[in-house]
Amino acid sequence: MKKRLSLALQQDLKKNLLKVKSDSLIIGVNEGNALNPISSKIDQATNGVIKKLAKRKEFEGKVGQQAYVAAPEGLSAERLYLIGFGKSKDLLSNEDIDKILNSTISSLKSSKSNNASICFPSLKYSNKSQNDSWLLQKMATFFENRVYTYDAKLNKKNKSVNRLKKVNLFLESSLSATNQRKALKTGQVIGQGMNAAKDLANLPGNICTPSYLASTSRAAAKKYAKLSCKVFGEREMKKMGMDCLLSVGNGSAQESKLISMSYLGGKKGDQPYAIVGKGITFDTGGISLKPGAAMDEMKFDMCGAASVIATMQVVSELKLPINVVGVVASAENMPGSKATKPGDVVKTMSGLTVEILNTDAEGRLVLADALTYVKRFKPKTVVDIATLTGAVIIALGYSTSGLMNNNDKLAKDLLNAGQKASDKAWQLPLWDVYQKDLDSNFADIANIGGRAGTITAACFLSRFAEDFPWAHLDVAGTASYKGAAKGGSGRPVPLLSQYLIDKA
């Protein structure tokens, strides 16, 4: 994973605010007449600029509000940004913190600063799970994530242009400097993981093939002593009885791959936590061909796999004292003379047979065999991650991932992790009434059925996850951005990482 930002604590920053030589100085200002010690010091040095802005109601210190002062008199910094923190007595919610951080990074990006100094006052939080350590971790993830650029697009001339490279940070806190640094490192590593996932997602399908995902996973394993990787080709998968997974890649010249990564940070013999990713490196829909419009975005159908590969690196970098298994089921779904046809029946590794009514419902086919494969590790929990259904976007939009499960404690842990990491999921029902929609006249189960497409897709997967606590994350709406911002989002790496950090 690549570090894109130098992020450091600067304990003397508050003391030397007036002398800080920086492209941008950002301070937190509270709402109301009384200035906090940081903003008061700046106000005095700049001939009362903060109070003047407040008097004119151009900046009142409301949460997330921002103001810009160019070439501020009395300061060595070239620019001054004011960020509203609300009233000093107010308890800040997760959403309030997001507003503050969004304003901070948008200020820096609009200024095109190469370096910045940030000085924030002490905060009070509305949630017991929130504290200064949480804030610093979140801040570091946020900054590392937001300075991301898709380097493969850039020529040498542009690579060093307009990129924030260094941030010095001070937070008024009772947290020790050691714990502050630890929180910053954790957050920055998670941000690096998001960026690693985005790098994979953004590559075109002619480069990021199943074999490319395999080589990337092997390369990652070489960097960490406790991380190993094994890759299975089609011949080996055929021997294991993975006809369901193999059926998806039948029409492609690219060989399908099953990638198995193991991180051994806990005691030998401890049950691992397992994460399983859908890695369809390009999805035409197969014989059930998709419409041509926006089909280029089907290169993002491997974002579940990208999040698994990236999260395994986060776990390894943080040296978490647990065991984790990461499995990626990867194929390219193409039409061709050997492609699977609607109505074909295939056998899964578990022994169940599947009638494939729609070849565009292929993610659940590769995951079915991957979930059966992961059973051999006797996992504590299994979470699969997939850009599985367009229906989840109809249900939850582009901000929230869908969560379905067979274990309520696991679901609660994942939802809490998502809240902490600002990588939210929402639980949908997985009731027996939906299972009958998958009935088939010609096999044990059909691969589509019913109107509740997100739920019936999870029902399909649940048939292969009966032997362990399992949850399914449908990230079709959250793993990538649309429109002008088109590209991988790096989600749900923060959720997965926080879940595993909590378990460690």
Residue 189, both tokens? 């590593």
Residue 375, both tokens? 């059973």
- Active site members: 290, 364
The set of residues, in sequence order, having a beta carbon less than 8 Å from that of 496 and lying 6+ positions away, is 275, 307, 308, 311, 383, 385, 417
> Per residue of the chain (504 residues), what is the pLDDT tens digit?
888 899 999 988 888 899 999 999 999 999 988 899 999 999 999 999 999 999 999 999 999 999 999 988 899 999 999 999 999 899 999 999 999 999 999 998 888 889 999 999 999 999 888 999 999 999 999 999 999 989 887 665 555 555 789 999 999 999 999 999 999 999 999 999 999 999 999 999 999 999 999 999 999 999 999 999 999 999 999 999 999 999 999 999 999 999 999 999 999 999 999 999 999 999 999 999 999 999 999 999 999 999 999 999 999 999 999 999 999 999 999 999 999 999 999 999 999 999 999 999 999 999 999 999 999 999 999 999 999 999 999 999 999 999 999 999 999 999 999 999 999 999 999 999 999 999 999 999 999 999 999 999 999 999 999 999 999 999 999 999 999 999 999 999 999 999 999 999
Question: What pTM, to 2 d.p., does this model score?
Answer: 0.96
User: Taking the CA of residue 134 as centre, how many other CA atoms within 13 Å lie in the half-sphere pointing to its CB?
Assistant: 21
The set of residues, in sequence order, having a beta carbon less than 8 Å from that of 342 and lying 6+ positions away, is 287, 288, 356, 357, 358, 359
329's enclosing H/E stretch is: strand 323-333
pLDDT given at position 162? 53
pLDDT given at position 156? 58
Nearest to 259 by CA among 224, 237, 238, 230: 230
pLDDT given at position 252? 98
The set of residues, in sequence order, having a beta carbon less than 8 Å from that of 305 and lying 6+ positions away, is 200, 213, 259, 277, 278, 279, 328, 329, 330
The position carrying tokens 């007036």 is 18
169's enclosing H/E stretch is: strand 166-171
Buried b (16+ CB within 10 A) or exposed e, 335-349: beeebbeeebebbbb
Nearest to 26 by CA among 11, 39, 35: 39
How far, CA to CA in Å, does 113 sit from each of 32, 109, 165, 359, 493? 29, 7, 8, 49, 27
pLDDT given at position 11? 87
Sign of CA dihedral 335, 337, 341, 345: negative
Residue 253: count other Cβ atoms within 10 Å of its Cβ: 10
Q: What domains are defined for the chain?
A: 6-173 (3.40.220.10), 197-503 (3.40.630.10)
Residue type, 9: L
The set of residues, in sequence order, having a beta carbon less than 8 Å from that of 431 and lying 6+ positions away, is none
Sign of CA dihedral 326, 240, 247, 345: negative
How far, CA to CA in Å, does 33 sit from each of 92, 137, 349, 351? 19, 31, 68, 71
Nearest to 495 by CA among 473, 480, 477: 473
Q: Are 346 and 356 in contact (CB under 8 A)?
A: yes
SS3 string, 57-88, reads CCCCCCCCCEEEEECCCCCCCCEEEEEEEEEC
The residue count of the chain comes to: 504
The burial of 109, by beta-carbon neighbours within 10 Å (0-12 exposed, 13-18 middle, 19 or more buried), is given as middle
The C-alpha atoms of residue 229 and residue 269 are separated, in whole angstroms, by 18
The set of residues, in sequence order, having a beta carbon less than 8 Å from that of 369 and lying 6+ positions away, is 237, 242, 244, 245, 258, 329, 348, 349, 350, 464
